[in-house]
Structure 1
Amino acid sequence: MLTLKGKLLIGVGLVLAMVGTLTISSLWAILSYREVVHDLDRNLNRVPQRRELIEAFAGMLEPLRVRLPDDANGRQERLWQFNERLAEAELRTGEALQKLAKLPSQPDFAKTCELAQERLWEIDNRLQELRVEQRKLLDPEQSAKTKMSLLLQVNDLQASATAIPDFGTSLPQLLKSSSQTYRASLWWVSVTTGLVVLLLFVGLFAGRHASSRSREV
């Protein structure tokens, strides 16, 4: 027959087991969530985004394709729109270079970083050349020729951006990884919760059984 001290020890042990399992499951879920957030932050904010560069260059094509009056006002409007898109492309290129410089240096990563840096510097230099050439859009005699030249060069920039290595995980892969982490966390929490309920049931049953036996004695 269990003494009062023994019953108390069993009760305390069951409580500690329940608290421990719930604590472990909670920590597991929190760490899994932290890992998912870290991956999202890394892929969206800390690595060069090739997609952003391609979108910026696509925006530069719009002022060159839009129909505007072939007069001084139309040429000025085209130049203004193109200059706005060009500034956005320069900003994205500068951000990509800064993110690339902050990436951790790893031997297996070195060649990829060098290739990306060469591409980005080449793009940056060509953007500076476009900034000079765009002024010819105001010249009535050179406007049409300059527009075609800029179109070809921006298309080349898009091709160069496509060739830049992609350092981030694609969104479908990231969502798949997040889904797997969520399912694993949910499974672990469900199992530990079921274990806690089982321990609680066993503790209550053992307590009632011991109480009934003591009454019989």
Structure 2
Amino acid sequence: MSELSRRSGVPVPTIKFYLREGLLRPGLATASNQAEYDEDHLRRLRLVRALITLGGLSVAAAREVLEAVAEPLDRYETLGVTHYALSAPVSARADGKSARNAEGGERGNGSAAEVERLIERMGWNITERSPLREALAAGLRALHEVGAGYGADELVPYAELAAATARLDLDQLAGIEDRIDIAERALVLTVLMEPVLAALRRMAQENEAALRYAGEDGSNTGE
């Protein structure tokens, strides 16, 4: 186990916890208190660690992803399970917003209706159980609270950009058949790329603001 810890960078107590929780299968016993761990253990351990520490998943949610990886699911099903599990922290925040907005039922219903309109306008295939429906509706309610009324019509240009980004994301899965590799790639694209995309958007906003407004009051930018 110490060798597995050294190679993975995961502390031994954490590995033991993952073993107790069934997130990592036991190694091959070589003595009463010793076991060997192979490359499959190393790959799975890295995925478990990433799901919990980077993806913010609970042990139960991580187990759900790992069970999906172990099943003979196709690429679409593997991605679906992983994506929905990774969306759980987002939907939990949305549930909190929903509770705070419980008294604003009409506004809440309106936001949910706008989400449905957007899905229909875009022709998107989004399952009824998707946690992102409520996450988007909660975001729209928050915008309405500060007077920024975004509905389906205003969101279409943003949705089109998101669709283009999704195509770039899924292009990276071309040729990947291994389910652990698919889950790892989904983690990268869903969690690790989000702050990168947010930073790129804000940089683009800064650049666009400079192009439109720099020099209006005689000031210079870029210093």
* Bucket of the pairwise TM-score, normalised by the shorter protein: under 0.3
| Structure with greater contact order relative to length (CA < 8 Å, sep ≥ 6) | 1
Q: Quick check: which one's helix share is greater?
A: 1
Report which of the two structures shows the higher radius of gyration computed on alpha carbons: 1
Length-normalised TM-score, structure 2: 0.24
